[in-house]
Amino acid sequence: MARVLLYDTTLRDGTQAEDISFQVEDKVRIAKRLDELGIDYIEGGWPGSNPKDITFFQAIQHETLSHSKIAAFGSTRRARVTPEEDNNIQMLIEAEPDTVTIFGKTWDFHVREALRISLDENLELINDSLAYLKERLPEVIYDAEHFFDGFKANPEYALQTLKAAAAAEVDCIVLCDTNGGTLPHEIPAIMAEVRKAVNTPLGIHAHNDSECAVANSLMAVDCGAVHVQGTINGFGERCGNANLCSIIPSLSLKLQRECLKDGQLQMLRSASRYIYELANLTPNKHQAYVGNSAFAHKGGVHVSAIQRHPETYEHIRPELVGNHTRVLVSDLSGRSNILAKAEECGIELDSKDPVTLEILEDIKDMENRGFQFEGAEASFELLMLKAMGKLKHYFSVTAFRVIDTLRESDKAPVSEATIKVKVGGKVEHTAADGNGPVNALDQALRRALISFYPQIAEVKLLDYKVRVLPSSQGTDSVIRVLVESGDHDARWGTVGVSSNVIDASYQALADAFTYKLYKG
């Protein structure tokens, strides 16, 4: 079987998503990461649409990529203008990409209503735009915009547009489900008709408006497509594009279709998270294959089973995509969860040891009071170590006070925290201002500890979440605080629960610093 070529459009289609914007430097860094992953084509943008994309194509010329081709995106020429006179066509050539991809109208409705030209004139501009580019560039790809909707509305004309592209001897014709409304069962019959009409290699470009972009892409490959377009993490306009983080492992591991080289599939999760970081978005923990929860197990029966045979509750080995099995600990947990989690943390526990039962009872009691360890695995590890008597007593807080003072009615209150910390036989009494009471407490605790433990300076507060637990007590309800901290090597989560949000925050912060000191 032919190798399936991967075409990434994160830097163009992906940036059309709400809340996503990349600077030129970010786009270059992402392109280099995609090259390492083994993506065949990286669509850098539309040189004729904005200065940022022009700058990217200039910048990427100074980088050395080992595998990927850089593609520039654009449209067919404008009506009543020759390719030589069309500025967008000329800018595509001036960008000096390895490949050019242009789209044209397939749906007769769009030809009449959007372009407002005749159907024959649309065929002409598709053909001569592609022929002009093909004479001047090494590789030209044609995106048949709205193909599936166009075929359903007027199959004869939709196929004529593909024939016009094929006559220009393009390298690939990509069938686009631009509105994302096609369902998987529709793909085979439509692609069968396309393959009768043209001999050009076919590709697929699916959007996710019906939650079928990945399924449609895989179905298209099964029907003969040898080129798949999508984005990392499914970024894209409206509901997003086909998610390459799902398509790539499905092609490799389920359909046994070659698309990456040996060793590259294991880089998938890290590439996914890297691009989330540059997009300044929190990774979707429930994302297939690469999400934190993709191979996370909570029920005791599940955990017991996967310890014997992972395939009982895992459809692939997570290490194949750079992920790993996680055991979650909750009030649903059995002894097998505790043992598995201890092993994951490098702690040896005996299933018959009374400490194991003690930990299990503690967890159930604490979760009954509102604690949750699924997002606070560092707090759980500390809990196990304390129960086993293996956790050093690094510090104790003997007192703290947090004051919010409103000094001027039109300005924010000023927060100040004072704290007493005992380390060994010494007591440190200090104070700090902060941007709010929790930040003030965080700063005061750091200031008190740092003279004893300089490594505390490496800890950064990465995320802070407060949840009011279900209750009918109104402002007297129980509060759960989840804190995510990190240093240059790792990230960890801790939890605190109290009817007082400052106390809950203190518990989570204290665990965060204790965990750092334990790990060294």
Computed over every residue of the chain, the mean pLDDT equals 91
Six-digit token string for 141? 């790809």
Name which of 185, 135, 130 is nearest 161 in CA terms. 130
**Pairing between β-strand 5-8 and β-strand 69-75 as defined by DSSP bridges:** unpaired
Q: Which residue has the higher pLDDT, 381 or 219?
A: 219
Q: Which residue intervals of 117-250 are DSSP H helices?
A: 119-136, 147-153, 155-167, 187-197, 213-222, 244-249
Report whether pLDDT(273) > 50: yes
Q: What is the pLDDT of residue 306?
A: 61
**Segment 29-40 mean pLDDT:** 97
The region of weakest confidence among 125-139, 194-208, 454-468 is: 454-468
Distance between CA atoms of residues 36 and 267, nearest Å = 9
Q: Is the pLDDT of residue 464 over 70?
A: yes
| 5-279: CATH superfamily | Aldolase class I (3.20.20.70)
Task: Give per-residue pLDDT as tens, 298-307.
Answer: 755 565 566 6
φ, ψ at 172 (rounded to 5°): -160, 140
**CA 210/CA 250 separation, integer angstroms:** 19
Token pair for residue 286? 């429930």
Per-residue pLDDT band at 469 (split at 50, 70, 90)? confident
Domain ranges of the chain: 5-279, 296-368
Cα 517 to Cα 520: distance, rounded to the nearest angstrom: 5
Q: How far, in Å, CA of 216 to CA of 187, rounded?
A: 7
Q: What is the mean pLDDT of residues 292-311?
A: 70
pLDDT-based confidence at 331, cuts 50/70/90? very low
Dihedral angle of Cα 360, 363, 366, 370, to the nearest 10 degrees: -140
Res. 520 pLDDT band, cuts 50 70 90: confident
Model confidence at 308: pLDDT above 80: no
What b/e readout covers 266-292, taking b as 16+ CB neighbours within 10 angstroms? ebbbbbbbbbbebbeeebbeebbbbbb
**What does DSSP assign to residue 207?**
B
Cβ atoms within 10 Å of 94's Cβ, excluding its own: 13
Q: What is the pTM of this model?
A: 0.73
Mean pLDDT of the region 163-184? 98
- Asked whether 251 and 259 are in contact (CB, 8 A), the reply is yes
Torsion angle of C-alpha atoms 151, 152, 156, 160, degrees rounded to 10 = -10
Residue of 432, 416, 431, 399 whose CA lies nearest to 506: 399
pLDDT for position 457:
95
Per-residue confidence (pLDDT) for residue 332, from 0 to 100: 47
**Residue 456 in tokens:** 């505390």
pLDDT over 70 for what percent of the chain? Answer: 93
Section 340-360 average pLDDT: 73
Element (H, E) at 504: helix 501-519
Reduced DSSP (H G I as helix, E B as strand, rest coil) percent helix, strand, coil of the chain, to 5:
45, 20, 35
The mean-pLDDT minimum among 1-10, 152-161, 336-345, 347-356 falls in: 336-345
Reading the block at residue 144, the tokens are 């048949």
For the chain, counts of helices (H) and of strands (E):
17, 16
Q: Residues 32-39: what's their mean pLDDT?
A: 97
Task: Give 109-156 pLDDT, tens digit per residue.
Answer: 999 998 999 999 999 999 999 999 999 999 999 999 999 999 999 999
Give the pLDDT confidence score for residue 304 in this predicted structure: 59
**Spatial CB neighbours of 268, under 8 Å, sequence gap ≥ 6:** 37, 245, 248, 249, 289, 290, 321, 322
Residue with tokens 């197990």: 297
Half-sphere exposure of 276 (CA within 13 A, CB side): 17
For range 50-58, the mean pLDDT:
92
CB 96 within 8 A of CB 70: no
How high is the pLDDT of residue 140?
A: 98
CA–CA dist 351, 335 (Å, integer): 7
